[in-house]
Structure 1
Amino acid sequence: MAGMEDLMTGLNRLFGRSGLVLLMAASLVSCAVSGNRAEMKDVAEEQPLPQATAAGTTGQALLPEQTLTDDLMFDILLAEIAGQRGAMDTSVPHYLQAAENARDPRVAERAVQIASYAKQYDIAERAARRWVELAPDDMEAHKALTVLALHLGDTAEAITQLDYLISNSDDPEEGYRLAAALLARDANKDEAVAAMEKLVAHHPENPHAWLALSRMAVNAERLEEGLDAVNKALELSPQLPAAVILKAQILVRLDRKAEATRVLDAAVSAHPENTMLHFAYGRMLLDGDDLDGARKQFGKVVELEPDNAEGLYSLALLELETKQYKAGEKHLQQLLQLRPDEQNAYYYLGYSALEQGDDAAALQWYRKVEEGDYWSQSQLRIAEILLRQGKVDAMQNHMLLLRQKNPDQSVTFFLIEGQVFTDAGMHEAAFNLYGAALETSPDNEELLYAHSLAAEKLGKLDIAERDMRRILKNDPENTRTLNALGYTLADRTTRYEEALVYIKKAYEQEPNDPAIIDSLGWVHYRLGNLDEARSLLQRAWDITGNSEIGAHLGEVMWAQGDREGARRIWEVSLKAEPENPMLLKVIDRYNP
């Protein structure tokens, strides 16, 4: 089973119904502590549990009347109190005993929960079997037994339970989706595929069975088998949209993108009213950088379903990306009518206003972002706008207030404020700010790293090196800092051999990181290894086209006598970043 945390999360979601036994435990705690059965009987003479609807839901058969015998009461209370005290080796067997003696399925359900919490999954499975026995129509009981059987490798039981869930689901597709979700929790993906294959053998004419098998095969990275299974689903149901979409996704992963595009293009042509197909086609076109084609597909989604939130959001972002700001804002406003608390919409409305030069509107929108993925970015944008308006005190007061209101995130706000200063070229202000923050968090890696970069910008190389070495003292394998220290030594000192040691160590950890490849190329240039330097820098340039890497590559080309090549690289870099100070400095040096 994948991750015990995932198993516990799944099981705990099944159990929210133990209030009765907990209430009993609380009211009789003094008796249970002593473990004296006679004392417990004095408090509660034999009495039936109150009858309630099964699983706490209406419309189901009443639970059987349960007599609270001394033995049953003793087992339940001892198990609860022992569990509360962390004595799970006492709690688990007593709850299992109670489950086996009781006729109330809630006791078995609680036993499953306790045993699972204690990671005694074999006992949890026994309790789950009892739960299913006492409540044979309870889907949650069957789900719990399925999860536990899969974890314990009890494939036969798992298949029996999955077959029950599928057969008793109101929607066959939903039944197989549930089966696939439960099987996907199994850490042994090949065993999960084998289990699904056995389920498909029970229902070979059901296209949803083959679709579920395809998903399981893809999850196990068995893409060709996944393609075969989804093709079988389409043979049985040629118009099944989910199967068409999955086939296209598999083809993309098999590097058959043109074929995938044809599959979805044909599907949307045959089913122009199907929003799911249009959305999937739009996503595929977007992944292929066909922004106009993707925008048309998302536009069709919104045309067919004006209240489709995902369609509105995707269409709006594409419109903003292609500078159709008014259209993007219109669709974000529509999204907010559906979801008034959609934080991302507020952020992108701020972005749109900012791109159009309306700082006042941008501030208004960014200040509406109160949480979520773009909260920190919104605070950064607010600070940048205030600084650009010359309101340094207002910006600093804004960040101070955020730190006061959110002391646990104070480091984050120092970093945001420092980044604002850095982006504005105010390196001294950034350096001083990070230094003040380090007084209370002297070993914070992010603050040390930011402080070191600010120090380097100011030419305070001794401080920059000190900060980086402090990080490496606490984390000798810190790739980012190894690279930064090596590059600083290569670029700002003559300690090239020492720089090479640090950069090579970073490169060993991240051999495909273009920033590290650039550093390695640059130190080889400093060492006079021009051919090696050019090869590395060309590789880094091919990955990113970064202007600073282009500046380095051009400089090496120039040193090799390839001045035309150097000028071409610099020209391309300059078009991408016409105001990059490092690039401009290099070009001025060689083309005065």
Structure 2
Amino acid sequence: MRLHASVLPVVLALAAAHETAWAAPPAAAPADSVETIRLRPGEPPAVTLTPELLYRILVAELSAQQGRYDDAAQELLGVARDTLDPRVAHRAFQMAMSGHNLTVALQTSREWAKLDPENPEAVAASLALSASSGQTDGLARTLARRIESADDKDQAIVQAVGIVSKMTDKRLALDVLDKALVGVLKTSALAHLALADAAWAAGEPRRAVDEAYKAQTLDPDSTDAAQRILEYGLRVEPRQAIQDTYAYLDRHPNQRGLQLLLVSRLTGQSQFDEALKLLGKMRANTPEDFDLLYTEAEVNARAGRYDAAKALLAQYISIEQQRRKGSAEGATNAQADVSDARLLLVQIAERQGDLKEAIRQLQNIDEPSLRFQSLTHEAVLYGKLGDLARARSLLDGIKPADRRERVVVRLTLASIYRDAGRTDQAVELLKAADLEMPDTSEIKYELGMLLHQQGKTAEFEALMRRVIQLDPENANAYNSLGYTYVEDNRNLSEARDLLERALDLDPENPYILDSVGWYLFRTQDYQGALEYLRRSYDQLPAADVAAHLGETLWALKRHEEAKRIWAEGLKADPGNQAVLAAMRRAGVKLP
């Protein structure tokens, strides 16, 4: 056999890697034989490295180099079975995982675990892949035995959780974990935390909270338990969860992470005064913690108290600039902190409609990693001010560091022209970008959407199909094409398939939920449509969604609700054509 020069290093490296595993063949051994000798339990066998064996290993490595990982894994699996060497089985497992073939990975992991049963990584890999394949028979018993016999039970619990987490059926995963942990529940807070997380993943928030409280009973000082009581409890009994978190913080006043988490959750519930009160207490206890100034500014900004936020940010920037001057180059993160503060000032200025102030703040950002973001954002703001020449000049002056930045520059410029009402120019820009960077799904998607606006449906459909080919995980492409069919009331069978795929990829996306709801409306499943459209409207109370939700309510004879939703839609977007068209079809005129 003649070896290609590029393959020789692979063979040499493999031989070196197995220097302790392979023994030189004895003089009397036949050239084509493979002999294995078991050493002490737990040690790999000594193996006679014959020409045939070397050839098989070489074939596997060459297959891997060519991207044929399944072939490589199967060849090495055969070698492992012939030599009884767990390291070859491990290599076969790695090849199978590289090829994303879970069936072969399961075979190789089981061989690896059989040949090296004391290796926790091998056993865990085998169990995890069995779980991910839905093969859970005996899994709970196996995990329970491993936990029971482990010297470090917490580590065994963590490994069990990692294995069960591979299961796609989260309710079944919870059931397996329930049975696996039954022997340690009276003594292990970690076991209850694991069950809390599993219950949450399975859609059982009440059970999740109960398990978190049980963990806290066993370990009253556990910050992990307190965090889960807050996080999970907010979905079940928000007031109680917050009250119990305060009680924990009274006993553990230095738990800064939990305090900030509580501030965040209070802010998310629009309890701004409560959040600021807690921040004030934190600042009084640790006056040198200047990062709290920034957090306080964030809360005020969320509350719409912009003057207070700006005053706090000015104070924060001044302190960070002093730190920067007083420290050696690169000794602090003050530059990045100041840039974050200026980005928040940009957001505030935009909310107040002061785009020139937003631009000024962007121009003051000197953090190198934010330079590209700042310039593209500045260009967008000049576009909003109507200065398209300045916007284009800024973008043309950027020297993209890579292909991703080149794509972003082209998309940004096209969006500026689109928002300025110059759709034709935006299309021409994207067509040029598509020629320059063919097979770039982001460019094709935006071009397709603009062509759809121009009524060029056939070109739009072709581009969406190409995007799906280039990026099969692009939920927006499936949704856009599916929704177009639904809106036109054609190809509904294909629309269903497209929207089902979009929903699988992004199940909580309000735009996709709206599309699915509108499809169900078209197929006269009004009750199903109502469920999806309400979920969409709760997240995205936009006029177009209101139009669909109102029409569904009208079809269900819930006329007053429909009128209320349509009124809300017109309040958000006066003159919205979708809402007005739905009302015309229903014969409704709002006062």
Q: TM-score, normalised by structure 2?
A: 0.62
**Is 1:25–1:77's contact at 8 Å kept on the other side of the alignment?**
no
**Is 2:451–2:457's contact at 8 Å kept on the other side of the alignment?**
no
Which of 12, 24, 30 is matched with 1:24 structurally? 12
Q: Kindly tell me: are residues 480 and 90 of structure 1, through their superposed partners in 2, closer, same or farther at Cα, counting changes over 3 Å? A: closer
Q: Kindly tell me: are residues 86 and 430 of structure 1, through their superposed partners in 2, closer, same or farther at Cα, counting changes over 3 Å? A: closer
Instruction: Confirm whether residue 383 of structure 1 aligns to residue 379 of structure 2.
Output: yes
Instruction: Confirm whether residue 212 of structure 1 aligns to residue 194 of structure 2.
Output: yes
Instruction: Confirm whether residue 69 of structure 1 aligns to residue 49 of structure 2.
Output: yes
Residue aligning to 1:495: none
Residue aligning to 1:13: none
- CA distance in 1 between counterparts of 2:140 and 2:288 reads 40
Instruction: Confirm whether residue 511 of structure 1 aligns to residue 560 of structure 2.
Output: no
Residue aligning to 1:438: 431
Which of 318, 336, 341 is matched with 2:299 structurally? 318
Q: Kindly tell me: are residues 549 and 292 of structure 1, through their superposed partners in 2, closer, same or farther at Cα, counting changes over 3 Å? A: farther
Q: Which has the higher contact order (CA 8 A, sep 6+)?
A: 1
**Is 1:112–1:125's contact at 8 Å kept on the other side of the alignment?**
yes
- CA distance in 2 between counterparts of 1:310 and 1:177 reads 34
Residue aligning to 1:471: 460
Q: Kindly tell me: are residues 69 and 158 of structure 1, through their superposed partners in 2, closer, same or farther at Cα, counting changes over 3 Å? A: farther
Residue aligning to 1:226: 208
Q: Following TM superposition, by how much is the alpha carbon of 1:97 offset from its aligned partner in structure 2, in angstroms? A: 4.0
Q: Kindly tell me: are residues 549 and 22 of structure 1, through their superposed partners in 2, closer, same or farther at Cα, counting changes over 3 Å? A: farther
- CA distance in 1 between counterparts of 2:89 and 2:290 reads 42
Q: Following TM superposition, by how much is the alpha carbon of 1:289 offset from its aligned partner in structure 2, in angstroms? A: 1.2
- CA distance in 2 between counterparts of 1:87 and 1:433 reads 43
Residue aligning to 2:574: 548
**Is 2:189–2:219's contact at 8 Å kept on the other side of the alignment?**
yes
Read off the aligned partner of 1:396 and give its amino acid letter. R
Read off the aligned partner of 1:271 and give its amino acid letter. H
Residues 84-163 of structure 1 correspond to what in structure 2 (within 5 A)?
A: 84-85=65-66, 91-100=72-81, 105-116=86-97, 117=99, 118=101, 119-130=103-114, 132-133=116-117, 136=118, 138-152=119-133, 153-156=135-138, 160=142
- CA distance in 2 between counterparts of 1:365 and 1:270 reads 41
Write the deviation string for residues 62-90 of structure 1: whole angstroms up to 9, x where unpaired: 98684552165344333323444466665
Write the deviation string for residues 377-396 of structure 1: whole angstroms up to 9, x where unpaired: x4553114445788644421
Read off the aligned partner of 2:344 and give its amino acid letter. Y
Answer with 300-309 or 107-116: which moved more. Answer: 300-309
Q: Following TM superposition, by how much is the alpha carbon of 1:478 offset from its aligned partner in structure 2, in angstroms? A: 3.5
Write the deviation string for residues 338-380 of structure 1: whole angstroms up to 9, x where unpaired: 4866886664354467767263332232884549xxx76x455
Residue aligning to 1:359: 359
Write the deviation string for residues 91-111 of structure 1: whole angstroms up to 9, x where unpaired: 334423433465765333212
Residues 403-552 of structure 1 correspond to what in structure 2 (within 5 A)?
A: 412-421=408-417, 426-427=420-421, 429=422, 431-438=424-431, 441=434, 444-450=444-450, 464=454, 466-467=455-456, 470-471=459-460, 478=481, 508=522, 511-512=533-534, 513=537, 514-519=542-547, 536=562, 538-542=564-568, 546-548=572-574
Q: Following TM superposition, by how much is the alpha carbon of 1:212 offset from its aligned partner in structure 2, in angstroms? A: 0.8
- CA distance in 2 between counterparts of 1:267 and 1:416 reads 48
**Is 2:144–2:179's contact at 8 Å kept on the other side of the alignment?**
no
Read off the aligned partner of 1:126 and give its amino acid letter. R
- CA distance in 2 between counterparts of 1:161 and 1:363 reads 58
Q: Following TM superposition, by how much is the alpha carbon of 1:124 offset from its aligned partner in structure 2, in angstroms? A: 1.7
**Is 2:199–2:205's contact at 8 Å kept on the other side of the alignment?**
yes
Q: Kindly tell me: are residues 448 and 67 of structure 1, through their superposed partners in 2, closer, same or farther at Cα, counting changes over 3 Å? A: closer
Residue aligning to 2:393: 397
Residue aligning to 1:80: 61
**Is 2:294–2:312's contact at 8 Å kept on the other side of the alignment?**
no
- CA distance in 1 between counterparts of 2:224 and 2:458 reads 54
Q: Following TM superposition, by how much is the alpha carbon of 1:275 offset from its aligned partner in structure 2, in angstroms? A: 2.3
Q: Kindly tell me: are residues 173 and 523 of structure 1, through their superposed partners in 2, closer, same or farther at Cα, counting changes over 3 Å? A: closer
Residues 331-350 of structure 1 correspond to what in structure 2 (within 5 A)?
A: 333=320, 337-338=332-333, 347-348=343-344, 350=346
Q: Kindly tell me: are residues 26 and 246 of structure 1, through their superposed partners in 2, closer, same or farther at Cα, counting changes over 3 Å? A: closer
Q: Kindly tell me: are residues 132 and 279 of structure 1, through their superposed partners in 2, closer, same or farther at Cα, counting changes over 3 Å? A: farther
Q: Following TM superposition, by how much is the alpha carbon of 1:203 offset from its aligned partner in structure 2, in angstroms? A: 1.2
**Is 1:125–1:149's contact at 8 Å kept on the other side of the alignment?**
no
Which of 192, 214, 218 is matched with 2:173 structurally? 192
- CA distance in 1 between counterparts of 2:341 and 2:83 reads 53
Residue aligning to 1:261: 242
Q: Following TM superposition, by how much is the alpha carbon of 1:186 offset from its aligned partner in structure 2, in angstroms? A: 0.6
Read off the aligned partner of 2:199 and give its amino acid letter. A
**Is 1:211–1:233's contact at 8 Å kept on the other side of the alignment?**
yes
Read off the aligned partner of 1:196 and give its amino acid letter. L
Q: Following TM superposition, by how much is the alpha carbon of 1:274 offset from its aligned partner in structure 2, in angstroms? A: 1.9
- CA distance in 2 between counterparts of 1:306 and 1:107 reads 59
- CA distance in 1 between counterparts of 2:294 and 2:156 reads 30
Write the deviation string for residues 557-583 of structure 1: whole angstroms up to 9, x where unpaired: 9x9897xxx5xxxxxxxxxxxxxxxxx
SS of structure 1 residue aligned to 2:168 = coil
Q: Kindly tell me: are residues 515 and 446 of structure 1, through their superposed partners in 2, closer, same or farther at Cα, counting changes over 3 Å? A: farther
Write the deviation string for residues 384-429 of structure 1: whole angstroms up to 9, x where unpaired: 4445788644421222345876666666434423443565xx43x4
- CA distance in 2 between counterparts of 1:68 and 1:125 reads 24
**Is 2:174–2:198's contact at 8 Å kept on the other side of the alignment?**
yes
- CA distance in 1 between counterparts of 2:95 and 2:380 reads 52
- CA distance in 2 between counterparts of 1:309 and 1:103 reads 61
- CA distance in 2 between counterparts of 1:168 and 1:538 reads 62
Residue aligning to 1:243: 225
Q: TM-score, normalised by structure 1?
A: 0.62
Q: Kindly tell me: are residues 388 and 175 of structure 1, through their superposed partners in 2, closer, same or farther at Cα, counting changes over 3 Å? A: same
Write the deviation string for residues 455-501 of structure 1: whole angstroms up to 9, x where unpaired: xxxxxxxxx3x335643576696366679999xxxxxxxxxxxxxxx
Q: Kindly tell me: are residues 115 and 505 of structure 1, through their superposed partners in 2, closer, same or farther at Cα, counting changes over 3 Å? A: closer
SS of structure 1 residue aligned to 2:258 = helix
- CA distance in 2 between counterparts of 1:125 and 1:283 reads 43
Q: Could you tell me the percent identity over the aligned residues?
A: 16
SS of structure 2 residue aligned to 1:294 = helix
Q: Kindly tell me: are residues 221 and 301 of structure 1, through their superposed partners in 2, closer, same or farther at Cα, counting changes over 3 Å? A: farther
Q: Kindly tell me: are residues 73 and 301 of structure 1, through their superposed partners in 2, closer, same or farther at Cα, counting changes over 3 Å? A: farther
- CA distance in 1 between counterparts of 2:589 and 2:60 reads 83
Q: Following TM superposition, by how much is the alpha carbon of 1:306 offset from its aligned partner in structure 2, in angstroms? A: 9.0
Read off the aligned partner of 1:267 and give its amino acid letter. Y
Gaps of 5+ in 2: 1-6, 17-24, 37-41, 325-329, 436-442, 465-478, 490-516, 523-528
**Is 1:449–1:468's contact at 8 Å kept on the other side of the alignment?**
no
